[in-house]
Amino acid sequence: MNGPGLARTYSISVVGIEGHLVDVETYAGAGLVAFTLVGLLDTSVREARDRVRASFESCGLDVLDQRITVNLSPAGIPKSGSGFDLAIASSIALATGLVSPLAFEDSVIIGELALDGSIQAVRGVLPAVLAARSRGVRRVIVPASCASEANLVTGIEVISFSHLADLISWGGGQALKAPFRGRMGTRKVVRSVDAQPPLDMADVRGQPEAVAAMEVAAAGGHHVFLLGEPGSGKTMLASRLPTILPNLDPDTALVTTSLHSVAGLVPAGVGLVTHPPFQAPHHSVTMAALIGGGSRTLTPGAASLAHGGILFLDEAAEFAPSVLDSLREPLETGVVNLHRSGIHTRYPASFQLVMASNPCPCGGRKGGRRCTCSSIAKRRYMARLSGPLLDRMDIRIDVHTPTRADMALGTVHDSAAIKDRVCEARERSRHRLAATPWVCNGQLPGAWIRRHSGIDAGLVAYLDRLVDAGESSMRGIDRMLRLAWTLADLEGTRRPTLDHIVAAQ
Which of 7-21, 27-41, 50-64 is predicted least confidently? 27-41
Average pLDDT, the chain: 87
160 touches 143 (CB < 8 A) = yes
Residue type, 332: E
Among 16-20, 186-190, 466-470, the range with the most confident prediction by mean pLDDT is 16-20
Distance, in Å, from the CA atom of 406 to the CA atom of 429, rounded to the nearest integer, reads: 34
Predicted local distance difference test score (pLDDT) of residue 400: 87
Give the confidence band of 175 by pLDDT, cuts at 50, 70, 90.
very low
- Higher per-residue confidence, 174 vs 321: 321
Q: Identify the bridge partners of residue 299 per DSSP, sorted by sequence position.
A: 293
Is the Cα dihedral 301, 302, 305, 306 positive or negative? negative
Residues 6+ apart with CB under 8 A from 460: 453
Residues 6+ apart with CB under 8 A from 181: 118, 162, 163, 165, 166
Among 69-83, 212-226, 267-281, the range with the most confident prediction by mean pLDDT is 212-226
Give the confidence band of 184 by pLDDT, cuts at 50, 70, 90.
very low
How many CA atoms are closer than 13 Å to the CA of 163, on its beta-carbon side? 16
Q: Identify the bridge partners of residue 344 per DSSP, sorted by sequence position.
A: 339
Burial 187-214 (b: 16+ CB within 10 A, else e): eeebebbeeeeebbbbbbbbbbebbebb
Is it true that domain 6-189 has CATH number 3.30.230.10? yes
- Higher per-residue confidence, 268 vs 66: 66
For the cut 50, the answer to whether the pLDDT of residue 19 exceeds it is yes
Give the confidence band of 269 by pLDDT, cuts at 50, 70, 90.
low
Strands (E), 169-291: 191-193, 224-228, 270-273, 278-279
Predicted local distance difference test score (pLDDT) of residue 343: 77
Residue 217's closest CA among 230, 226, 228? 226
Predicted local distance difference test score (pLDDT) of residue 502: 86
For the cut 80, the answer to whether the pLDDT of residue 70 exceeds it is yes
pLDDT in tens, 96-153: 988 888 889 999 999 999 999 999 999 999 999 999 999 999 999 999 999 989 999 9
Distance, in Å, from the CA atom of 230 to the CA atom of 369, rounded to the nearest integer, reads: 12
Predicted local distance difference test score (pLDDT) of residue 33: 84
Distance, in Å, from the CA atom of 97 to the CA atom of 63, rounded to the nearest integer, reads: 9
Percent of the chain exceeding pLDDT 90 equals 53
- Which ranges in 250-340 belong to alpha helices (H)? 250-262, 287-291, 302-305, 321-325, 328-333
Residue 273's closest CA among 303, 222, 308? 308
Give the confidence band of 190 by pLDDT, cuts at 50, 70, 90.
very low
Burial 47-77 (b: 16+ CB within 10 A, else e): ebbebbbebbebbebebbebbbbbbbeeeee
For the cut 90, the answer to whether the pLDDT of residue 55 exceeds it is yes
* CB neighbours of residue 461 within 10 Å: 9
For the cut 80, the answer to whether the pLDDT of residue 287 exceeds it is yes
For the cut 80, the answer to whether the pLDDT of residue 341 exceeds it is no
> Domain boundaries in the chain?
6-189, 201-417, 444-505
Distance, in Å, from the CA atom of 117 to the CA atom of 122, rounded to the nearest integer, reads: 15
Distance, in Å, from the CA atom of 23 to the CA atom of 6, rounded to the nearest integer, reads: 13
Domain boundaries 201-417, corresponding CATH code: 3.40.50.300
Predicted local distance difference test score (pLDDT) of residue 58: 92
Predicted local distance difference test score (pLDDT) of residue 262: 92
Predicted local distance difference test score (pLDDT) of residue 465: 86
Among 56-65, 175-184, 192-201, the range with the most confident prediction by mean pLDDT is 56-65
Predicted local distance difference test score (pLDDT) of residue 368: 58
Predicted local distance difference test score (pLDDT) of residue 366: 56
Which of 297-306, 321-330, 358-367 is predicted least confidently? 358-367
Which of 56-60, 123-127, 289-293, 474-478 is predicted least confidently? 474-478
pLDDT in tens, 342-395: 778 899 999 999 999 998 888 766 555 678 888 898 889 888 998 889 988 999
- Higher per-residue confidence, 362 vs 225: 225
Q: Which helix (H) or strand (E) holds 70?
A: strand 67-73
Strands (E), 304-351: 310-313, 335-340, 343-348
pLDDT in tens, 435-473: 899 999 999 988 888 888 777 777 888 888 888 787 778
